[in-house]
Amino acid sequence: MTKVLCFANNKGGSGKSTTCSSVGYVLAGKGKKVLLVDADGQMNLTLSCFSEEQALGFLEENKHLYYGLSSQVSPQTLVVATDFENLYMLPGSPALSQMEGVLHGAYEKQFVLRKYLERIKKENLYDYILIDAPPALSDWTTNIMCASDGLIIPVEASPWGLFGLANMLEFYTNTLLYAPDLQLYGVLVTKADVRKNYFKQTMETLSALPDVRVFSTVIHVDSHVEWAQENSRPVGAYAKSCRAAKEYVKLAKEIEEYAGW
Ligand SMILES: Nc1ncnc2c1ncn2[C@@H]1O[C@H](COP(=O)(O)OP(=O)(O)O)[C@@H](O)[C@H]1O
Ligand SMILES: [Mg+2]
């Protein structure tokens, strides 16, 4: 059975796209077949594995999620192979920013993405489908969450990072109305800088939250992450033994345990 996980938080810059591609890369390296789905108009997930030129090529060839949803062509025909074994991508496009308008008045508007991805899921081609959400609490993000079995909320270890978390958790609770089986896999602390006192405070605040699982893996600030992105590679593919790459290996293990593999 394909597990669908999404990475969502309305705060931009919290590490959603980085985490989605990094975890996908690790799982693929372990022999799992992984499909990354770029559901954000900023296309950062697409750019985590492809150059700008390649990404523009996908737009020209209509190989992207928005095209799929609007034309209803088979989603599998839009999937492109990355340079990495077992790792595939359904690219995003700037047009995804129009999804709010598209969903307005759509029939069963919470489930448009779920129904579309169901067509891939039922073929059982992938062990994991990982969806990167945009930084918004919108109908489109509801769609992404309703299409998923599990939710991972990356949170930046900063005052504003924590401030937004309450809204995100409330949004998750409200989404359970439509997707009662959606599990909160956990909150993931990213971009932690242990030299800053704020990191300690973040961990204390999070551990005091009732009923919220916090991943024991913490992702620290590591400049390799940015260099990897500059080179259109997930961090593990760019610098296998840097701190963040090793932490993402640990995180993937936690996720797999949770997913019950
Ligand atoms: N562990 C990290 N160390 C250093 N920089 C990071 C780390 N994780 C993410 N970043 C940087 O922070 C920015 C935001 O990350 P990103 O994954 O794009 O967040 P989001 O998708 O939530 O907007 C990016 O520029 C990325 O390179
Ligand atoms: Mg992003």
Can you tell me the mean pLDDT for 221-231?
97
| Tens-digit pLDDT profile for residues 163-192 | 889 999 999 999 999 999 999 999 999 999
Q: Which atom of ligand 1 lies nearest, measured to the CA of 18? A: 17
229 lines ligand 1 (CB under 6 A): yes
pLDDT on residue 25: 98
pLDDT on residue 232: 98
> Residue 203: pLDDT above 70?
yes
| Tens-digit pLDDT profile for residues 108-127 | 999 999 999 999 999 999 99
pLDDT on residue 243: 98
Residue type, 233: R
pLDDT on residue 55: 98
Can you tell me the mean pLDDT for 191-217?
87
Q: Which atom of ligand 1 lies nearest, measured to the CA of 12? A: 23
Q: Which residue's C-alpha comes closest to atom 9 of ligand 1?
A: 15
Pocket residue to mutate for ligand 1, from 40, 137, 160, 225, most atoms within 8 A of Cβ: 225
Is the pLDDT higher at 158 or at 84? 84
Provide long-range contacts, Cβ within 8 A and 24+ apart, for 101-109. 102/69, 102/70, 103/139, 103/140, 103/143, 104/139, 109/139, 109/143
**pTM higher than the cut 0.95:** yes
Can you tell me the mean pLDDT for 87-94?
98
Pocket residue to mutate for ligand 1, from 16, 18, 48, 156, most atoms within 8 A of Cβ: 18
pLDDT on residue 199: 82
Confidence of residue 211 (pLDDT cuts 50, 70, 90): confident
Confidence of residue 261 (pLDDT cuts 50, 70, 90): low
Can you tell me the mean pLDDT for 28-34?
98
**Domain housing 177:** 3-259
Q: In what order do the strands lie in the sheet with 183-190?
A: 80-81, 87-90, 34-38, 128-132, 3-7, 150-156, 183-190
Report the domain count for the chain: 1
Q: From CA 86, how far away is CA 29, in angstroms rounded?
A: 7
Confidence of residue 259 (pLDDT cuts 50, 70, 90): confident
**Alpha carbon of 134 to ligand 2 centroid (Å):** 6
Q: From CA 110, how far away is CA 201, in angstroms rounded?
A: 36
Whole-number mean pLDDT of the chain?
Answer: 95
Which element (helix H / strand E) includes 167? helix 159-175
What percentage of residues in the chain have a pLDDT greater than 90? 88
Q: Which CATH number covers residue 46?
A: 3.40.50.300
233 lines ligand 1 (CB under 6 A): no
Q: From CA 60, how far away is CA 74, in angstroms rounded?
A: 18
pLDDT on residue 46: 98
